[in-house]
Structure 1
Amino acid sequence: MIHLYLSVFKFFPAGMEAEDNRKKTDAPPDVDPQTPVLRISQLDALELDTSLEQLLWTQFSQCFQNCRPGLLTPLEPELKALLQLLLWRFTLYSNSATVGQSLLSLRYHNVLSTSPRYRPLTRRQKLGLALLTAGPRWLQERSHSLLLCLGSNSGASDGDRGVLQKSLRNCLIFVSGITQLAGLLNFLVFLGKGRHPVLAERIVGARAVFSKPNVTRDITYQYMNRELLWHGFAEFLIFLLPLINTRKLKTILSSIVFGGESAAGNGAAEGSGVWKECGLCGEWPTMPHTVGCQHVFCYYCIKSHSIADVSLTCPKCGAEAGPPEPVKMEVEMMGR
């Protein structure tokens, strides 16, 4: 029995060593940190991280859509910062890579290390990166409330309190301007050298490198180009559609297809009877007005359309619209 126990205890270390050797053999070799990473890949990783943060906030806010309106507004900056810290805890803190970097097979490398091989970020670097990312956003959204609190708790008079708040606001604006200028200069340096697209990465000494050799993008360029194309096309339509006068276009097409003379004749025949509907809204005309043809319109309908469109034409017959003039309508009395 003793020999059996000894053989079992001897087997486990051997099995564990074999398992460790197998994992080491199957593990991918380290990638040279000096291998340059494409600038577009680093920018795509930042865009993916931003989209993920917006998606998380949207899903979180929808959980309270049936509650009292404005429930999350007083604590919105703190909640956004908390979501960013939670996302940092389970992504960057765990494997030295954000979600966007993981999708593009990237990770952070410790530039401050003197070793030529890959070195992950230290805990202090990860914490500094989180604070430099979430802290300025929270401070920018909370700056007004903080200035009011500092001014009210200063114990000074109203005049001195106003001067103090103004001085603090000017200092905050100055610091914000310096930060934005530093970020712009850092981005220009990034475009030239291809490293550190964000100022926080340069401060803490973090740089994006490949996580495995012979890397292929999980999100291909074809997908990104297609998304950019559709996004630009949607923005173009949003800009173009309000400029198109669909009513006038419909009138022109109907006059081309059916002919303007027949439409005018039908309008005259219709106008000889009792006018029962507005040519624009289709309802019984309120304060009926005419624009020179045989059709009648509500005053507010024709007035708003004439203000919006200087070269207004009648939507029924296509005649050029003149100034709106009131008309007298015949009322049919239906006897029982």
Structure 2
Amino acid sequence: MSSRVTQLDVLDLDSYTTDLLIRKEVDKCMRLFSSPVILQLKPYVQTALYATLLYHTVGKYQQTVAQRLFGVIMIDTQNPNHVQRWKILCYIAAEAFGFLWSEKYDAGHPDFLSSWSKTTTVVNFIHNMARVSRLCNFLLFLNKGQFSRLLLLALGLKVCAENPGEVGDVSYTILGREILWRGFAEILVETITQFDLSKIRRYIAKGVATPTDHNDDVARLKQCCVCSEWPTQPHESNCGHVGCYYCMSVCILEGGQCPTCSSTISNIKMVGYV
């Protein structure tokens, strides 16, 4: 397995190479044409060139341009000696689709999704969820150093040294960056654990929930107002909300404020089970 710094450098160099060879060169050529029809074809021309580049690099050598320069290669986690052809083709197809999506969606082309007005909300939701997934995978990569991209994780491909037996030069800069990334990952993981996910979940649920009848005892006894789980030894506060005995006791110890209505909890009493 190659180091985190090497994999991050590969991502940066691949992005720079794509921008230099595909986007900028096609932009120069498109300046010679003034027809709007030809200009609308630019994202598709760029995608075709990018797919061709991937076919002659990843498709033949299992390496991108940057991976070739850094001496790393993509291998299959299930069979390190052979990468199945369908995985390589899926990688090229997903990369080409992602490139076209970034050129059309992220670039804000006015014609994109214009005919899909009813599905625009769904597409935006999927796009945002993909961003969140990439962020989570990146945090996992900083912690474990295995899959720098979500696509590699989905296909079961990892980036390793092409010649593991060879020992390369390790400079002070590379070693310092590796230590910095490891420290950053540990600090980030430690920071994330400090967030109270139950409070965040209650806050979101409170914002999207519809008003309910608080006199419905059956509905109230099915969910703790603090942890949002089935209440253990349910107790009711003086403001009418039900929660676990432990959760309600903790609320009183922390200041006596109800997490649902922010009223002051002066006493709690036990209620029956559902």
TM bucket by the smaller chain? Answer: 0.5 to 0.7
Equivalent position SS for 1:89:
helix
Please list every run of 5 or more consecutive structure 2 residues that lacks an aligned counterpart in the other structure. 177-274
Distance in 1 of aligned mates of 2:102 and 2:94: 12
**Could you say which residue in structure 2 is the equivalent of 1:50?**
15
> 4+ residue stretches of structure 1 with deviation over 6 A?
219-223
Q: How far did 1:199 drift?
A: 0.3
Correspondence for 1:214 among 166, 172, 182: 166
1-structure distance, mates of 2:98, 2:75:
23
Larger C-alpha radius of gyration, 1 or 2? 1
Q: Distance in 1 between matches of 2:13 and 2:158?
A: 17
Are residue 204 (structure 1) and residue 155 (structure 2) matched?
yes
Return the letter of the residue paired with 2:5. Answer: I
Q: CA deviation at 1:46?
A: 1.1
Measure the CA separation in 2 of the matches of 1:94 and 1:77: 25
Deviation (angstroms), 1:38: 0.8
**1:65 and 2:27 are equivalent in the alignment:** no
Checking the alignment, whether the CA contact within 8 Å between 2:30 and 2:39 is kept in structure 1 is no
Q: Does 1:41 align with 2:6?
A: yes
Look up the match of 2:128.
177
Of the three residues 50, 57, 78, the one matched with 1:91 is: 57
Matches within 5 A, 1:1-336: 36-57=1-22, 58-68=24-34, 72-113=38-79, 118-142=80-104, 145-150=111-116, 165=117, 167-212=118-163, 213-216=165-168
Deviation for aligned residue 1:194? 0.3
**Given that residues 91 and 151 in structure 2 are in contact (C-alpha distance below 8 angstroms), is that contact kept between their aligned partners in structure 1?**
yes
Q: Partners in 1 of 2:41 and 2:115 — Cα distance?
A: 16
Q: After TM superposition, give the deviation of residue 121 of structure 1 in Å.
A: 2.1
TM-score by length of structure 1 reads: 0.46
SS in 2 for 1:37: coil
Distance 1:67 1:215, change over 3 A: farther
Change (3 A) 1:69 1:54: farther
CA displacement, residues 263-307 of structure 1 (integer Å, 9 cap, x when unaligned): xxxxxxxxxxxxxxxxxxxxxxxxxxxxxxxxxxxxxxxxxxxxx
Determine what percentage of the aligned residue pairs are the same residue: 22
Call closer, same or farther: CA 1:61–1:97 in 2, change over 3 Å.
same
**Cα root mean square deviation, aligned:** 2.7
Q: Distance in 2 between matches of 1:125 and 1:95?
A: 13
Aligned to 1:162: none
Give the Å deviation of 1:83.
Answer: 1.7
- The 1-side partners of 2:158 and 2:53 are apart by 19
SS in 1 for 2:111: helix
Point out where structure 1 has 5 or more consecutive residues left out of the alignment.
Answer: 1-35, 151-164, 226-336
